Amino acid sequence: MEGEDVTGTVPEAGGYRAARWVTDVFAPQVLVIGMPPVVGLLSDGWPGAAWGLIASALCGGVPALVIAAGVRSGRLDSHHIVDRSLRTRPLLVAVAAVIAALALLAALGAPALLMATVGAMLAGLAVTVPVTLWWKISFHAAVTAGTVVVFSHVLPPAPTLAVGAVITAVVCWSRTRVTHHTWPQVMAGVVAGAAPAWLVLSLSGA
């Protein structure tokens, strides 16, 4: 069983507290719930934000509820699911929820960019879920990097990518600082999140 510390370091008060705050604020559930309405608002106004709320409820809300129930029952160690061996069921729920969201949004005629955003989520899961079955890749890093790529399609790309790179680096630092991941694990997460998102958005033409 994997414990809290994967790096062999001993937490220190100041930096550790800041890292815990970053890792909570930029948790995958938070980003997946918060991103679609903002993307929808920026691309298609308030109607787009409404579409985004549908995506949020399915892609982020359903997995978050499953994880919360698992934590309350004692089946999961925390909402970050530090123990890799406990991740399979929640991740399969997340995959099913994103597929359901994609099918529903397609059937209802959602905006192209929002469809591509949900498609990017599914592509990211297609990469990270198989990897996490044998190696503890960082979902924090993957979701943060993917989110940056998505926002670069609705905001000025250069400054968005520059600011996003800094935020992603801070998230990666926080995951290693709280000793939940090693640097190879967070760097792999960045690639696994950014590359599929960029590919899907580029191919969609959204």
Q: What pLDDT shows up at residue 2?
A: 37
Q: How far is CA 194 from the centre of its chain?
A: 11
In this prediction the pTM is: 0.90
Identify the CA nearest to 149 among candidates 202, 105, 89, 88.
202
Identify the CA nearest to 183 among candidates 7, 4, 5, 3.
7
Q: What is the pLDDT of residues 4-44, one digit of tens each?
A: 445 444 455 568 999 999 999 999 999 999 999 999 999 99
Mean pLDDT of 87-106: 94
> Where are the chain's structural domains?
13-204
Q: What pLDDT shows up at residue 13?
A: 56
Q: Is the per-residue pLDDT at 52 higher than 90?
A: yes
How far, CA to CA in Å, does 149 sit from each of 25, 40, 102, 105?
A: 19, 15, 19, 21
The length of the chain, given as a count of residues: 206
List the structure tokens of 189: 């997460």
Calculated CA dihedral for residues 77, 82, 83, 89, nearest 10 degrees: 80
Q: Is the per-residue pLDDT at 3 higher than 60?
A: no
Q: What is the pLDDT of residues 104-145, one digit of tens each?
A: 999 999 999 999 999 999 999 999 999 998 999 999 999 999
Instruction: Give Cβ neighbours of residue 147 (< 8 Å, ≥ 6 apart).
Output: 31, 35, 164, 193
For residues 69 and 76, what is the distance between their CA atoms, to the nearest angstrom? 9
Q: What is the pLDDT of residues 77-89, one digit of tens each?
A: 888 898 888 988 9
How many Cα atoms are found within 13 Å in the side-chain-facing hemisphere of 109? 1
Q: What pLDDT shows up at residue 12?
A: 55
List the structure tokens of 145: 């990097």
For residues 180 and 185, what is the distance between their CA atoms, to the nearest angstrom? 10
**Is the model more confident about 194 or about 83?**
194
For residues 164 and 103, what is the distance between their CA atoms, to the nearest angstrom? 29
Q: Is the per-residue pLDDT at 170 higher than 50?
A: yes
Q: What pLDDT shows up at residue 4?
A: 42
Q: What pLDDT shows up at residue 1?
A: 33
Tell me if 154 sits within 8 A of 2, measured CB to CB: no
**Is the model more confident about 55 or about 88?**
55
Mean pLDDT of 163-172: 98
